Amino acid sequence: MGNVLTSLDNMLSQATSQGLFSRFVYQNINNNTTNATSTCGYTTARRFPATITVPTLGGSVTGAYLVGFRMASAQSGPFIVGFETLLGSLTVSTNSFTAGSTLPSRIVNGTGSAQQLASIMPIVAIGTTITATSPVLTVTYTNQAGTGARTCTMTLPTSSAAMSEFLMSPHLQGTDTGIRSVSNISISTGSAGVINIYGIIPLAVQGSVSGPDPIPTPFPLIELLGGDVLSFHSYNVIATDIAISNIVLVGEN
């Protein structure tokens, strides 16, 4: 049983004995993205295309935890790094849905048995620029409590640009706060583009571009496994951008 979370000393011990995983990634948003509206997330957002995949865990390491995050950008923050699950995709021209995965079950904060995760930050991510006039997107999902056939309806901006991101949480059905999985995506109109729905488990936030901010990040520590994808998100800017992101993982055995 791992002992990363029992004390800071244990975490340091794990870091020195197992070695840290530190990765820098250069990211480029080379087109203007699209502003959100109150019918599609309220806050302008975008998903950087470059992600980091947790490597295969070797030796006696059974899991990894994010312990460091910094992001330097030409634009302003805040920035969030999250554990990402592709829940489903939509090909706009044919209005055809491709199923993704359900969020996994993982140990939270190093204690107890694995719990079914649900994303409090589900997003509509524009994979390739869509051609559509004020399309209405309908996402059918299973909520945080495991209730299926729930719907999220959003009216997207006309011809949203690639790498734009629209926050789903304000538009979930009823009192829903999270998503476990997606069973269907459909769009009212459109002739081109790809839309991806991701379930993001936020792991850390950086409040501004001028960091390092002395920000404590009271997000739950989620056990990460080999193959897990970490993605990066920024807010309130649509201009082109370059960024360098750094994450640090510590292994547990």
* 3-state secondary structure (DSSP) of residue 134: coil
- How far is it, in rounded angstroms, from Cα 17 to Cα 9? 12
Binding of residue 218 to other proteins (CB under 8 A): yes
Residue 22 or residue 158: which is nearer to other proteins going by CB? 158
Nearest of 34, 108, 51 to residue 231 by alpha carbon: 51
Binding of residue 75 to other proteins (CB under 8 A): no
CB neighbour list of residue 204: distance below 8 Å, 6 or more residues apart: 66, 69, 80, 81, 217, 219
Site string for other proteins, 42-71 (x = CB under 8 A): xxxx--------------------------
Judged by CB under 8 A, which of 2, 63, 104, 178 binds other proteins? 178
Binding of residue 76 to other proteins (CB under 8 A): yes
Binding of residue 177 to other proteins (CB under 8 A): yes
Residue 92 or residue 238: which is nearer to other proteins going by CB? 238
CB of 198 to other proteins, least distance (A): 14
Residue 137 or residue 238: which is nearer to other proteins going by CB? 238
Q: Token digits for 108? A: 């939270």
Residue 91 or residue 122: which is nearer to other proteins going by CB? 122
User: Starting from the edge strand earliest in sequence, which strands make up the sheet with 179-187, in order?
Assistant: 150-155, 136-143, 179-187
- How far is it, in rounded angstroms, from Cα 142 to Cα 76? 34
Residue 162 or residue 204: which is nearer to other proteins going by CB? 204
CB of 108 to other proteins, least distance (A): 4
* 3-state secondary structure (DSSP) of residue 202: strand
- How far is it, in rounded angstroms, from Cα 129 to Cα 131? 7
Which sign, positive or negative, has the C-alpha torsion 35, 40, 44, 46? negative
Judged by CB under 8 A, which of 33, 143, 160, 196 binds other proteins? 143
Which sign, positive or negative, has the C-alpha torsion 174, 179, 185, 189? positive
* 3-state secondary structure (DSSP) of residue 147: coil
Judged by CB under 8 A, which of 27, 119, 129, 140 binds other proteins? 119
Judged by CB under 8 A, which of 28, 116, 158, 189 binds other proteins? 116
Instruction: Count residues binding other proteins (CB under 8 A).
Output: 57
Note the residues at the interface with other proteins (CB under 8 A).
35-38, 42-45, 76-78, 80, 106, 108-109, 111, 115-121, 143-144, 167, 169-170, 172, 174-180, 201-202, 205-211, 213-216, 218-222, 233, 235-236
